[in-house]
Amino acid sequence: MSYRSSLSAVLADVVAPAAEVTGEQGRFPRAAVTALGHAGLLGLTAPAADGGGGRGCAEAAEVVARTARVCPATAAVLTSHFAAVAALGVYGNPWLRGEIAAGRHLATLALGDIGPEGLRAEEGTGRWHLRPRGGGSTAVRSGGVVALRARRYGVVAAGEADSYLWSSEALEPSRPTVPGSLSGRNRRTDRGTVTLWVVPAHAPDLFVPARPDGGGPGGSGTSSVCADPVLVPADAMLGPDRGGGDIVLGVVRPWLLELTAAMAAEVPRTREVPCGEHGFADARTGTGPSRSAGAGDVRSGAGPAGAARSEDAGLAPAGRSAGTLAPT
């Protein structure tokens, strides 16, 4: 069966029947994501050598556009997933690439200050700078462990994805005192001082707000993700240290812009669809009202929405309990 036929079946049998609940009640489209994985659509753009579909950005944009006509929330999730896979399919470890290709792994972007709206050119120099919203992310290494500390805004599928493509400032050696601020150091960051990581959703101390503060289509799970800090193995680095800016500019950003445009072109046609009130542009910039979890808490683990909450910190764990990401 072609990917177009598979998509038609999933949209008709799974996505469309749940679209109203997804939009009106802000429920993450978990059944849709699972069905898309089983149909080979989550692995559509994974390299054929890894067992994926081997398709490119044009096919991914077609999938996003058709999905957006039925449910923008699901389309937003696919947009972030495909953009992340563009980098993970090249730089991810073999096990992770295989899981993505098999449709068992949902990835998302947690780039924060290096999203499409956060990159600015320095006029006359040819240099790109990051314009942080609330500061960058620190990465401090101690032996084989790296402590990542940041608050990432506008993350689609926060608390629902299996892994996050995470950005930080360049790796630092261990030091006696780690800054206490979630947002790290507030300074302009050159593209050559950015490093990328694969952060598993089940990493301890990775949290999303109990009451999400992100934008995006209702049900897309768009919210902040907080690391205060999160410890990951040193080999969770994606690509070389200080090479993250080039990967984002050369690989992730082109996919994200094309996929976002494909979705945005369909949003006006979905005004009668309950989950189509907000555009994905809100999810990128973190603006607009959040409908990702209604008035309750975000989903954590395999339980229903609102099942987990931290009364003290107003945070809920960002990971899902299914062990879908091996140590990176």
Cβ atoms of 46 and 52 within 8 Å: the answer is: yes
Q: Which residue do the tokens 């489209």 mark? A: 29
Write the pLDDT tens digit of every residue in 237-256.
Answer: 999 999 998 999 999 999 99
172: which DSSP letter? Answer: B
Name the burial class of residue 137, with classes exposed (0-12), middle (13-18) and buried (19+) by CB atoms within 10 angstroms of its CB.
Answer: buried
For residues 224 and 222, give the distance between their C-alpha atoms in angstroms, rounded to a whole number: 7
| Strand, coil or helix: 320 | coil
Token couple for 313: 């910190």
Cβ atoms of 36 and 42 within 8 Å: the answer is: yes
| Rg, C-alpha atoms of the chain | 18
Say whether pLDDT at 328 is over 80: no
Write the pLDDT tens digit of every residue in 89-124.
Answer: 999 999 999 999 999 999 999 986 544 444 444 444
Write the pLDDT tens digit of every residue in 165-177.
Answer: 999 999 877 654 4
pLDDT band, very low/low/confident/very high, at 193 (cuts 50, 70, 90): confident
Type of residue at 51: G
Phi first, then psi: give them for residue 228, nearest 5 degrees: -140, 50
- Residue 152, CA distances (Å) to 21, 46, 130, 250 in order: 27, 26, 14, 21
